[in-house]
Structure 1
């Protein structure tokens, strides 16, 4: 059982955020758990490709730099690519939150395609928001997170269906780990209401991703049931072990009599 206590609070730290419980103890975030507990095989290729792209595209400029500076520039190349993508994702999320609430927005030119794609999603599915950008927590299992959207969508047959949705802006599409993320949100104990009280997470019929791109959007169903919650909890344990494992290694031992007699090993040359 988790030792975390209500109420949960989300704290901002620059562009990042974290969660604390009623005792001021940090609660692990869902995306942090997945980042620390689940292998990211695709990131190995991405890091190599980002570095190679930086080398090829900046070949002439790099050639004029001292070797140490050149090496440092290439080491940092993948982080510059990652940070640019993260900033774009954060900006799109912020605009999406305003748009789904019916608010007017000022759109940077470089995000115009993303915003138009998201507006088309809202229009195509007659989206009626229920909860927007809200904090969830599981005191039972010890995690918290921020969910993008619960909304009612009108399906092709005219039926109105309640969805729990995450907005993604990744170039590579929707990864399988998203099922674990959505399962953690869907099966959380509570969500933090606007008045600061803990309220049950509304039940939803479906879960999925709105993949927003500069050239359009996709509504992608994702399975996020009890089995995916169980799988998330396995990943959570791996993340915990990764965080605590260094403490399992003790200090080097010294022999009880370091100045005692020392055996000598004599090596004999083999006879020819």
Structure 2
């Protein structure tokens, strides 16, 4: 089996079947993005308003010379913020993978140093054993794929608390690292999709069946603190993901086919002979 490649189409990521390139499955996060998020409209508006108020003199000067440029500057506030946060998140994920693999970490960028400190504290307090990281979960059954952060073994006592000396009972968990402001419920949809996939595909193209997990967890890390939280990945939760998978098909393909060409329509405005001769 070959390596899994990805492409971007209309803002969504698709995973290409390693042996059958005509098969392209949408990514898990693209499917989860079908979940309605009406609060984002208010957030976009607030980001634009805050930028306008905080940069009033600059915006006024820009608008006097380039009105459209000023409009583009303001309407891009949320997009620029999201990109900055995504860049930090990607670099933090790379750092976390290196650390949990035991790689010696030297100096890191000041923006990442707080995350390094918090992740090191997590490793000391929980002492997980890495089983896999950044491999692809692939579902032939339901037609989706996605890269998960890690599969780890943690040892828990009877109360479900980690035993860093590994004296407790081992539990195989699929985990996700989050550097966002908070943890949100849709992470359960994401992780349920990974855990219910058919197989794991490694970077070298080798594949094996998805293991049976004892559970899932999200590690929420901010510059100030960390928290390791269990996540429910039950069949019920997975069922909601599958509903979004169908909505993805509706949004990206089926919806574009349900309205046909007009079989009758207005003739348009009357054009007189005088108007035709004047052309």
Give the TM-score, by structure 2 length.
0.83
- Mapped to 1, the partners of 2:77 and 2:56 lie a distance apart of 13
1:64 paired with 2:61, answer yes
Q: 1:202, CA displacement in angstroms?
A: 2.1
Structure 2 residue 123 is the aligned partner of structure 1 residue 114: no
Give the drift of 1:122: 1.1
Instruction: Trace 1:122-133 onto structure 2 (pairs within 5 A).
Output: 122-133=123-134
Q: Deviations over 1:72-93 (max 9, x none)?
A: 1111111001100110111111
> Is the 8 Å Cα contact of residues 155 and 171 (structure 2) preserved in structure 1?
yes
Please, which runs of 5 or more residues in structure 2 have no aligned partner? 269-279
Query: Secondary structure at the residue paired with 1:136?
Result: strand
Change (3 A) 1:63 1:163: same
Which of 20, 27, 30 is 2:28 aligned to? 30
Q: Aligned residue for 1:9?
A: 4
How far the C-alpha of 1:53 sits from its partner, in A, is: 1.8
Is 1:10–1:17's contact at 8 Å kept on the other side of the alignment? no
Tell me which residue corresponds to 2:141. 140
Q: Could you tell me whether the CA contact under 8 Å between 1:164 and 1:206 is conserved in 2?
A: yes
Match of 1:54 in 2: 51
Alignment coverage as a number of residue pairs:
249
8 Å CA contact 2:4–2:203 kept in 1: the answer is no
Secondary structure at the counterpart of residue 236 of structure 2 = helix
1:182 positional shift: 0.5
Residue matched to 2:171:
161
Q: What is residue 81 of structure 1 aligned with on the other side?
A: 81
Query: Of the candidates 193, 198, 206, which is equivalent to residue 197 of structure 1?
Result: 206
CA drift at 1:175: 1.1
* RMSD between superposed Cα atoms in Å: 2.2
- 1:234 — aligned with what? 243
Q: CA deviation at 1:253?
A: 2.4
Residues 7 and 198, structure 1, Cα contact 8 Å, conserved in 2? no
Q: 1:17–1:240: structure 2 CA closer, same or farther, 3 Å change rule? A: closer
Deviation, 1:17, is 6.1
Change (3 A) 1:12 1:254: closer
How far residue 42 of structure 1 moved from its aligned partner, in angstroms, is 2.8
Compute the displacement of 1:115 (Å).
1.3
1:200-219, CA deviations, whole angstroms, 9 ceiling, x for partnerless residues? 12222121210111112111
Alignment check: 8 A CA contact 1:166 1:209 kept: yes
> Displacement, 1:195?
4.3
Task: For 2:197 and 2:3, locate their aligned partners in 1 and report how far apart those are by CA, in whole Å.
Answer: 12
User: For residue 259 of structure 2, what is the aligned residue in structure 1?
Assistant: 249
Structure 1: distance between partners of 2:29 and 2:236: 18
Task: Specify the alignment match of 1:269 in structure 2.
Answer: none
- Partners of 1:76 and 1:242 lie apart in 2 by 25
Distance 2:117 2:68 in 1: 44
Q: Cα deviation per residue 1:221-268 (whole Å; 9 max; x = unaligned)?
A: 11111111111000111111011212222122236x969xxxxxxxxx
Normalised to the residue count of structure 1, the TM-score between the two structures is 0.85
Mean CA deviation greater in 125-134 or 150-159: 150-159
Question: Could you tell which deviates more after superposition, 26-35 or 57-66?
Answer: 57-66
